Amino acid sequence: MAGLRPLDASRPFLLNPVSSAAPRWLPTISGCSCMDSIYFGKPFLSSRHFPKQRRQHRMTIMTIATSVKARLLKEDPVEVSSIDKTVSGDEIRQRFLKFYASRGHKIILSSSLVPDDPTVLLTIAGMLQFKPIFLGKESRPAPCVTTAQKCIRTNDIENVGRTARHHTFFEMLGNFSFGDYFKKEAIIWAWELTTEEFGLPPERLWVSVFEDDGDAFNIWHTEVGVPKERIKRMGEDDNFWMSGVTGPCGPCSEIYYDFHPYKGHVDADLGDGSRFIELYNLVFMQYNKKDDGTLVPLKQKNIDTGMGLERMAQVLQKVPNNYETDLIFPIIEKASKLALISYANADDVTKTNLKIIGDHMRAVVYLISDGVMPSNIGRGYVVRRLIRRVVRIGKLLGIKGDVEGNIGGAFLPVLAGTVIELSRNIDPEVKARVPRILEELKREELRFLQTLERGEKLLDQFLEDALASCGSEGDGPSLSGKDVFLLYDTYGFPVEITAEVAEERGVNIDMNDFHVEMENQRRQSQAAHNVVKLSIGNETNFAETIPDTEFLGYNTLFATAIVKGILVNGNSVAHVSKGSDVEIMLNRTPFYAESGGQIGDNGFLYCSGDKDIGTKTVVEIKDVKKSLGSVFLHIGTIKEGTVEIGSEVDAAVDSNLRQRARVHHTATHLLQAALKNVIGQDTAQAGSLVAFDRLRFDFNFHRPLLEHEVVKIENFINKWIRDSTSLQTKVMSLLEAKRAGAIAMFGEKYGEQVRVVEVPGVSMELCGGTHVTNTSEIRGFKIISEQGIASGIRRIEAVAGEAFIEYVSARDQHLRNLCSMLKVRAEDVAARVESLMDELRMAKNEVSTLQTKMAILKASTIKEKAIYLSTSNARVMVESMGDVEAEALKSAAEYLIDSLQDPAAIVLGSCPGEGKVSLVAAFSPGVINMGLQAGKFIGNIAKICGGGGGGRPNFAQAGGKKPENLPEALEKARAELITIFSDTK
């Protein structure tokens, strides 16, 4: 309001708030104070004081006042005073949850960023954890709930920091109704939340609705009072939500905030990001889309909403973008201090880089906290990619070391400390995982810095190749976009640095090609990871007809059941006969379905059939899996007879295989306990497999286990087995289990009531798997391998029970055979093998010496074949040496280059074995002075043989895998050398 003249009290602004007549004002206005009473939303204009039937009148008044004031100011109106400038992101989150809790919603904790859903890589939306409920496959925890969900999306990663509101990590505030309330309540509450709870001025809010959704339009206009000109009807692409090609769907409605209301409503475009920001999306899930495209009303209508916390914080805290809110800006400030930069005074490029750091650091801290470790596949690649972006941007900004005097240290843990401090109201469990988070970030950063150095060397090679090819082809030197993308994506090498170095060397960059590669990757990422599918095959056809399967397998391996559904090739059938592969659904079963790492049971289904003719049905079950919710799919083959829906069958689990699984599952729990005892409590499970023949356990650790550590782990477990401890299984609330210290199994989803499996004094875990009753049943445990499978992730494979006995017996038989072959006792095998290896090494050395002498001898007989070129006074020798080994070939080339007068160029080739080619080039000092380099020359020649190589300017070696092309390669080498030396004067 600075610069405005004081109010002229003699010429007031008149307004009648209770009259239904149009508002009136004097034709001349010298001040804005009276109008401020309208614009700033004084109490007499609050919706709390306006009856519903007069909301439309209030909205008209607001619009007129805003327009008049904008004309006076000739600029955007100032923000409303009712917005609290000090409102924090944490407070916005809590006020949202409390608002809906006061309206009967149950507050549900955020689920992990690792979803229990095979169709998505990471948790990308607030509704994801409720997907089985929307499909009717799981019971609802309450009629309506509200959440603040952690989310990760990477499909628009290149927009992060460049726009005001794109993020990889963000929080989605949501309220959900599972067949409880619907459109009217959802819309009215959304309006009350935004205008009353958060105090946003109604005249700044616009609404979009699906073009055919007259119900939503009428509710917004007649019930809420939004003027028609601020309600936009939009098409299916914008305002109709679909879970997939088929499945639950429905229209949606969005609330937008207008940063520039003075522009009016004519030709207003809600897609204009500079003017509008979408704050709240309401999805009215009311239809089921069939295969033929028809929309069938759902029996249970649902509400699914989402409000971006960061977006609301931007508006309420009056900052120009999401990054400058208190949710992210402290991280940016910390990065600025590390780089010795002032964010306020920085240029746009620097600000963008700092925003990227602020965004990505949140993402990687929460991902690692939820058990996702950096790797080159899947979720791990997402973490690695984000970390590498932060590291290379930090280097670009000039951040050096850990800024505490250690120039070789890591700075990511310093930034992570700020993220962790901000996490207390988002995910309290982050605090408990601080050592793991900081150690993983430090290790990954230092490892990547080494990769970055390799990228620099590769860039140098690319530039040299570009300069070399330029001379031969006559075009200006250019670095391909694919090479630039390889440096960027694989080695994390900044495009800006690549361009700068290339410019210094006089090499252009094909940026168009680079952008094509970037777009291809973006499309693949978006297509793979940013769609929440609510259907898998035809399973949704059963959502309303097939009940959850009652699992009896904890107490029995045999049960009588009724066939409720049959699938053949994914299609529902009423009956099926001998020879068919089927998926059978029962009302109850003793079969364990694959989950928690444990594979499904094997066994048989039996049916007596027609007793008069003596028919019998036999179905061999080879696997059991869970469909959406808790419907068990018994996967197998009809061996005899026919199965029909409604048939009664006897279900029998293979008891021997079940026992093997039980043994390996309990051994897995003991293994995790032993690992924590031996290598540290911070280690955690990162995946598992409980099979009949072995167990596999993945865990986070930064190095291979030492031999004595492996032995110590085995000793712990075998002691616990000998202790013959009885297991205890209890069902309790999730909160009680966590307070008791129970460990959650990786990848498992938990409800309010959980099953806790305890080996007293050793292990306590949340687990739905099957287990032995006493540790003595395990009999024995042996680790058979330990290896790294990804950066920071190790894998142990082990055997227990019957599999342990079989493994030990097989190893013993192998040792017996070895003793017989070597004619020694078992205890002397190692010494005998070592002796044989020594003899073999000596024999190989003798052979190598003889081969070298023979190669030199052969070279001495052919050195007279060197071609003398008088124009350059140079000698060229290019010859095949038969089947000479690489080392001998090298010796021959060294002999020849020493024998021939300078300048001389030697190229020799051989085929030392099937599918092998060896090449060597030796250039004298005089040749090098002419501009030739052995490494580059032989590398190009080797490509003809399907290989490559390189080395020093004077000496280089190469290899290939196409011996049939060796004559052609040598002929090309000879011709090029002769041409080069013939043209030299």
Annotated binding residues for Zn(2+), written as ranges, equal 665, 669, 767, 771
Q: Residues 244, 245, 250, CA angle at the centre, nearest 5°?
A: 65
What's at 708, amino acid-wise? Answer: H
Which is nearest to 29 in space by CA: 8, 44, 2?
8
**What is the SS3 string spanning 868-904?**
EECCCCEEEEEEECCCCCHHHHHHHHHHHHHHCCCCE
Residue 30: CB partners within 8 Å, gap ≥ 6? 5, 7, 8, 11
Indicate the Cα dihedral angle 760, 764, 769, 775, nearest 10°: -30
CB neighbourhood size of 20 (10 A): 9
First-residue to last-residue Cα distance in the chain: 83
Which is nearest to 589 in space by CA: 576, 599, 574, 604?
604
In whole angstroms, give the CA distance from residue 229 to residue 227. Answer: 5
In whole angstroms, give the CA distance from residue 381 to residue 374. Answer: 6
Paired sense of beta strands 948-951 and 955-960, if any: antiparallel
Contact 58, 45 (CB under 8 A): yes
Which is nearest to 244 in space by CA: 538, 548, 523, 570?
538
Paired sense of beta strands 867-869 and 581-586, if any: unpaired
Contact 877, 865 (CB under 8 A): yes
Which is nearest to 693 in space by CA: 802, 856, 554?
802
Tell me how many helices (H) and strands (E) the chain has. Answer: 26, 36
Would you state the structure tokens that stand for residue 561, as one six-digit string? Answer: 């059941």
Contact 790, 373 (CB under 8 A): yes
The single-letter DSSP state of residue 569 is: T
177 DSSP β-pair partners: 144, 303
In whole angstroms, give the CA distance from residue 337 to residue 325. Answer: 18
Residue 834: CB partners within 8 Å, gap ≥ 6? none
Q: Which residues of 678-707 are buried (b: 16+ CB within 10 A; e: fewer)?
A: bbeebbbbbebbbbbebbbbbbbbbeebee
In whole angstroms, give the CA distance from residue 16 to residue 18. Answer: 6
**Structure-token match 């080069």, residue found:** 980
Q: Residues 234, 238, 242, CA angle at the centre, nearest 5°?
A: 125
Which is nearest to 152 in space by CA: 381, 314, 319?
381
296 DSSP β-pair partners: 288
Contact 596, 747 (CB under 8 A): yes
The annotated binding site is made up of 665, 669, 767, 771
In whole angstroms, give the CA distance from residue 703 to residue 785. Answer: 14
Q: What is the DSSP track for 731-787?
A: EEEHHHHHHTTPEEPTT----SEEEEEEETTTEEEE--S---SBGGGG--EEEEEEE
What's at 929, amino acid-wise? Answer: N
In whole angstroms, give the CA distance from residue 723 to residue 775. Answer: 7
In whole angstroms, give the CA distance from residue 389 to residue 448. Answer: 10
